[in-house]
A and B are shown apart, each in its own frame.
Chain A
Amino acid sequence: MKTYYNPEDLKKFGSIDEYQPALAKKFFDYYGEVFKEGALTAREKSLIALAVAHTVQCPYCIDAYSTDCLEKGSNEEQMMEAIHVAAAIRGGSSLVHGVQMMNKVKELSM
């Protein structure tokens, strides 16, 4: 069965350099630097990545960072809390626009 997403494609991520090696190199170098231990720990960065992966709804990223979070020492409770943070921001971002709706309604109403 053909599908748009194939789990095996995650392993081929590096092959995007085939059509544009210079930009791919810049991207992967940057990516590697971003996830190094810094002002934030590698474990914290992995939890942020997991939350963002759910926000951008990328199945490759969800697989990769579910594994990575476990290998960085996070537990299931922490991982689910990270996803709730993503969900809260997503839900909140819709709801805070409710103010815009209210503004417009009040503008149009007597």
Chain B
Amino acid sequence: MKSLQADRHHLSNTFTQLEVLNSADERVTALPRFKEKLLSAGLFPLKAIRVDTLQVNLGKMCNQTCKHCHVDAGPDRKEIMTLEVMQHCLNALANSDIATVDLTGGAPEMNPNFRWFVEEVCKLGKRIIVRCNLTIIVANKKYHDLPFFFKDHKIEVVSSLPYFTSQKTDAQRGSGVFDDSIKALKLLNDVGYGKEGSGLILNLVYNPSGAFLPPSQAGLQADFKRELKRRFEIEFNELFAITNLPISRFLDYLIASGNYDAYMEKLVNSFNRHAAQNVMCRSMISVGWDGFLYDCDFNQMLDLKINSGRPDHIAFFDPDKLSDREIIINQHCFGCTAGAGSSCGGELT
């Protein structure tokens, strides 16, 4: 499977995606705008309350091509963060109170300067999260020692595993991904990740394999814990249930499968004011591979840069100016406010 960009798909254009989301189609326009929902909830304009997390996207290169990927990542994507931009990130972190650095991609480990960057962030005493797709650990000999590297730097590992069976996992993430993910989880467990008392955190991410909302996080976590232990002797800390946002490849899936209208309607009808109050963009900044700043990784993939009038590049990072900025919103934001809410850390309520 290729990325939308390699396929020259019309949805690889972010402007086209926004056009679809704000389409003049009769049924879609009947849906309220996200701004209207925020207004009625007394939350517009949505403003940041602090910046405690810097989420750094190290590039779109990935060894997988998942069907739902909001980054449109894959082996054919070559955009990765340079050393120069990484240095800007380090300068920004050194001059701010930001406590957490959340590394994502693509597969962040495929950036040739990944390990150097982690070591430098470690020196600053920041908490580091790596969003590891698991299969990268077994994809090539040069990545086999990643569990030890993660352990040595006390990195928190967050990994996607849509289900505890191969059928659902492979349907979403590609053939053979489940078996490789299980191998990688065992390697992480072997060095202590997910084991009680080790202090090494291994969290898993569930997201639905289709056009429906995620189940309750607590119930699902209990299922995953029981089944992964019973079937594979695998342990982990927490499960985060995340909603698929209607952008990029998931948007393509929704339209191609005829589920787009019903899914948008479901997201809108499930708007939860409490979730909207707690959306992750209010406490984080997302940095793109090229150094531009966004309110979240989803806005980054739609090329919706942080509010104009602020420095919008990491080279000019100013946490004070960013901490009360107005968040850029659009129709895809309904994905984070539906039901129990959704964020990179799972439910919001």
Q: A residues touching B (Cβ–Cβ < 8 Å)?
A: 11, 41-43, 67, 70-73, 75
Contacts of B214 in A (CB 8 A): 71
B89 adjacent to chain A (CB < 8 Å): no
B208 adjacent to chain A (CB < 8 Å): yes
The smallest C-beta distance from B152 to any residue of chain A, in angstroms, reads: 36
B223 adjacent to chain A (CB < 8 Å): yes
Contacts of B219 in A (CB 8 A): 41, 43, 72-73
Contacts of B165 in A (CB 8 A): 75
Interchain CA distance A42-B208 in the complex, whole Å: 18
Interchain CA distance A43-B165 in the complex, whole Å: 19
Q: B residues touching A (Cβ–Cβ < 8 Å)?
A: 163, 165, 168, 208, 210, 212-216, 219-220, 223, 265
Q: 3 nearest interchain CB pairs?
A: A73-B215, A70-B212, A71-B213
Interchain CA distance A11-B262 in the complex, whole Å: 10
The smallest C-beta distance from A110 to any residue of chain B, in angstroms, reads: 59
Contacts of A11 in B (CB 8 A): 265
Contacts of A75 in B (CB 8 A): 163, 165, 168
Contacts of A67 in B (CB 8 A): 212
The answer on a CB contact under 8 Å between A70 and B210 is: yes
Q: Give the interface centre of A11, A42, A70 by most chain B CB atoms within 10 Å.
A: A70
The smallest C-beta distance from B214 to any residue of chain A, in angstroms, reads: 7
The answer on a CB contact under 8 Å between A72 and B215 is: yes
The answer on a CB contact under 8 Å between B212 and A73 is: no
Q: Give the interface centre of A43, A67, A70, A73 by most chain B CB atoms within 10 Å.
A: A73
Contacts of B210 in A (CB 8 A): 70
The smallest C-beta distance from B182 to any residue of chain A, in angstroms, reads: 18
Contacts of A41 in B (CB 8 A): 219
Interchain CA distance A86-B54 in the complex, whole Å: 52
Interchain CA distance A71-B219 in the complex, whole Å: 11
The answer on a CB contact under 8 Å between A70 and B208 is: yes
Interchain CA distance A47-B4 in the complex, whole Å: 37
Interchain CA distance A15-B15 in the complex, whole Å: 38
Which residue from chain B places its CB closest to the CB of A68 in the assembled complex? B212
Q: Which of B168, B220, B265 contacts A73 (CB 8 A)?
A: B220
